[in-house]
Chains A and B, each alone.
Chain A
Amino acid sequence: MINKIVASVADALAGVRDGATVMISGFGGAGQPAELIDGLIEQGARELTIVNNNAGNGDTGLAALLKARRVRKIVCSFPRQADSYVFDELYRSGQIELELVPQGNLAERIRAAGAGIGAFFTPTGYGTQLAQGKETRIISGKPFVLEYPIHADFALVKALKADRWGNLVYRKAARNFGPIMASAAQCAVVQVDQVVELGALDPEVIVTPGIFVQRVVCVPAHIARAVA
């Protein structure tokens, strides 16, 4: 019997190696898999490349992972925020590498990886610092920049519900990077509020089909909230 549900956060994160590329879903706190990030800190992998929209807030979640000095490089669109002081200090002292990517290019590069696209031409960023050194082309009279996919070893994703096949539904705007990150990683690890019986999710509304998901761990919302 296929069962992608694992017993614990530790089981969900087994096999993350030093130097791995790890995508982490979420936009601000919405869709951030906080318990999986805490689990990754405990798991101990180092020299990670992290792909996320931001670079952590306050002292928890991604910021705590940075503070624990597990991250060599971060690929993101918006690192600087009012409470991104952990990242700011590491960046200013040259202790973390930053690849800054416009948000839509970040999303499309992740999508491209999941969809097997070798590279794509995008209009975003043309003529700016963030396109310097990149190949450009005029197509039908419009300028474009060549961008490459971002693949990952692991994706840590938060969703609302899963079944044992790994089919997922999300909650409101917490969906953000979850579906594309799950598709772009060798191993997509999903934290959900609730595991439901096979068949309980309406096939018409499943957002991420289980083919993109390797492991699911249930962290009920009341526990997640208590930890957060």
Chain B
Amino acid sequence: MKRRTRDQIAARVALDIPEGAYVNLGIGLPTLVANHLPRGREIFLHSENGILGMGPAPAAGAEDWDLINAGKQPVTLLTGGAFFHHADSFGMMRGGHLDICVLGAFQVSAGGDLANWHTGAPDAIPAVGGAMDLAIGAKRVFIMMEHQTKSGESKVVRQCSYPLTGVACVSRIYTDLATIDVKPDGLHVVDMVEGLSFAELCGATDAPLIAQHAPAL
């Protein structure tokens, strides 16, 4: 069995983003998805600091520090792109106008609760940014993460032990082992990496899983 690399997870997410979708890619791992969107497919990338139609990073030397993404890195604007203020930008999320948002996570629960903003450690300085708005704002929330922590604990859990970002907000989970849908009756496996059995996946997962017709990718 070979785990998906981060780029392979990103490519798997990109498969599920259709032409014409309005999409927000969260800071960190999810930004990789932009590199895997098929050329020729028109997709609108939203950046919560006030951009629709965000393009890739500029060439070295062409950075414009008034044109940055949510991670405060320089980006470009595609032809047809637009700028707007923060209340409009978050209204696009909260108002249900955004089709998909892709976020990283510490944990996702069987009920689709998301924990991704705070470890809850007593000495940690809390910072939330737009995470809670994104979690409940998009029509579909995709989570992209490693299936387990570095020490081997499952990040797909019965109940989140970290502080929540949003309640029952996750639609689909993409990990280095599998793709999993969050449905009212539980977690349905959509696909698994080649050579991994359903029993092995269950062994790596704290939350109970429901086998579907799970073709190897």
Q: Which residues of A contact B (CB under 8 A)?
A: 27-31, 53, 77-81, 87-88, 91-92, 98, 100-108, 110-111, 122-130, 143, 170-180, 207
Contacts and interface: CB of A to CB of B under 8 A. Distances in A.
Nearest to B123: A92
Nearest to B168: A127
Interface string B138-177: 0000000000000000000000000111110000000000
Contacts of B72: 27-30
B50 A130 contact: no
Interface string B89-114: 11101100000000000000000010
Nearest to B132: A102
Contacts of B127: 77-81, 100
A124 B129 CA distance: 12
A176 B129 CA distance: 14
B48 interface: yes
A56 B118 CA distance: 20
B86 A107 contact: yes
Interface residues of B, number: 41
Contacts of B131: 102
A175 B50 contact: yes
Mostly, the B contact residues are loop
Contacts, number: 138
A188 to B, nearest CB: 14
Given A110-B87, A124-B136, A128-B163, A104 B94 contact: yes
B16 to A, nearest CB: 24
A88 B50 CA distance: 27
A172 B87 contact: no
A37 to B, nearest CB: 16
Given A77-B127, A78-B129, A122 B87 contact: no
30 contacts: A27-B49, A27-B68, A27-B86, A28-B72, A29-B68, A53-B86, A77-B129, A77-B130, A78-B127, A78-B128, A92-B125, A103-B48, A103-B86, A103-B90, A104-B48, A104-B93, A104-B94, A105-B132, A106-B86, A107-B90, A124-B133, A127-B167, A128-B165, A173-B47, A173-B50, A173-B51, A174-B66, A175-B50, A180-B85, A180-B87
